[in-house]
Structure 1
Amino acid sequence: MNLSAILVSQFLAGLEMLKQTITLCPEDLWNAPQDKNPFWQVTYHALYFVHEYLAESPETFVPWEKHREVYDFDETQTFEPYDQAALLEYLAFLENHVRERLPQLRLDEVEGHGSRSMLTAELQIYSLRHLMVHTGELMERLGARTGANIDWVGWVHD
């Protein structure tokens, strides 16, 4: 198995775990007013950056068709939340996008410029870490408030 196939497998596994958090999240936790960063927004943030980091560069990135400027955390603004169905739709889009896009990347080349200038392979590992930090955050929030358990997904091989 090559590095590209390994990365695809790990992204799909991470997305599957995030999918579990979305589907198990009750309505009252989805946009709970006591949360500094609502569940839905952390979810969108994680998905958005998986998507953006698969682009050739920030300048060539084309956001999801239902994108709204809610991907970054800003305590001074209130946003209309995405519902679970919309974010599951985005997640399904990204599962396909990861399968198609990742094998096209030249993992041994420097990607981007400025603050995003790094080997493409490193950017993808960075992106996986980002996805899993937020998935873990949501797993903990969900588990602490509802007792829900998320199944570990080690890999996904098509």
Structure 2
Amino acid sequence: MEYSSVVKILLSQFRAALGMLRDVTEKVPDTEWNSNEYNNPNWQLIYHTIWSAKLYLSASYETFVPFAGAIEGAESLGGDKDWENSEVEVIGLNSKQEVLEFIQEVEQNLESSFQLLPLEANSGFEWYPYSRLELHLNTIRHIQHHTAQVIERLKEKGITGFPWWVDQNEPGEWV
């Protein structure tokens, strides 16, 4: 398979995963946005997901530029006593509109992120000792994991109507 075909496929899958995250974000009712029912409220789980996507689309942690509306520590889900960020206290919250703008920012910069870093290059993150290609696959899985987590939380509350699947390709368009 040609390099450009792999990039097209990855971009398609990133867009689909981000599209599902955006759709779910839009569906979270105001009453559930900052619910303290869970260790991390829905807004923070979504924020963590998009923050991580932006981080791993960067060349490295050192070159990463946070979202303009970032709230210190909101990217951390903590919870595990052994994590260095397990005791992070998040003060404040991002609005749904701010988080949707953050998702849009990542979507708009997706292609340029791919153009800057070759797929066969090192991931750029010492804690992920593999290629940039594998990092992209891992990031897509991460987006899908937390998107499904938010969907399940909302379904428990009787909130339905989520898009079954977001896909960027029409039948027959597969590369």
Residue 141 of structure 1: aligned partner: 153
CA deviations over 1:10-52 (Å, ceiling 9, x no partner): 1111111111111111111111121211000000000001000
Structure 2 CA distance, aligned partners of 1:114 and 1:87?
28
The structure with the greater share of residues assigned to helix is 1
Report the more deviating stretch, 122-131 or 66-75: 66-75
Residue 46 of structure 1: aligned partner: 49
- Alpha-carbon contact 1:46-1:131 (below 8 Å) kept: yes
Structure 2 CA distance, aligned partners of 1:12 and 1:57?
21
The one of 132, 151, 168 equivalent to 1:120 is 132
The one of 74, 78, 82 equivalent to 2:78 is 74
Structure 2 CA distance, aligned partners of 1:113 and 1:86?
27
| Structure with greater Cα Rg | 2
| Identity across matched positions, percent | 28
Q: Which amino acid aligns with 1:98?
A: L
Pairwise CA RMSD of aligned residues? 1.7
Residue 21 of structure 1: aligned partner: 24
The runs of at least 4 consecutive aligned structure 1 residues that moved more than 6 Å come to none
Q: Pick closer, same or farther for the CA change 1:113–1:135 going to 2, 3 Å.
A: closer
- Alpha-carbon contact 1:21-1:142 (below 8 Å) kept: no
Structure 2 CA distance, aligned partners of 1:14 and 1:79?
28
- Alpha-carbon contact 1:106-1:120 (below 8 Å) kept: yes
Q: How many residues align?
A: 157
Q: 1:79 Cα deviation (Å)? A: 2.7
Q: Which amino acid aligns with 1:74?
A: G
Q: 1:112 Cα deviation (Å)? A: 1.7
Structure 2 CA distance, aligned partners of 1:96 and 1:110?
24
- Alpha-carbon contact 1:143-1:149 (below 8 Å) kept: no
TM-score by length of 2: 0.83
- Alpha-carbon contact 2:17-2:143 (below 8 Å) kept: yes
Report the more deviating stretch, 109-118 or 50-59: 109-118
Q: Relative CO higher for 1 or 2, CA cutoff 8 Å, sep ≥ 6? A: 1
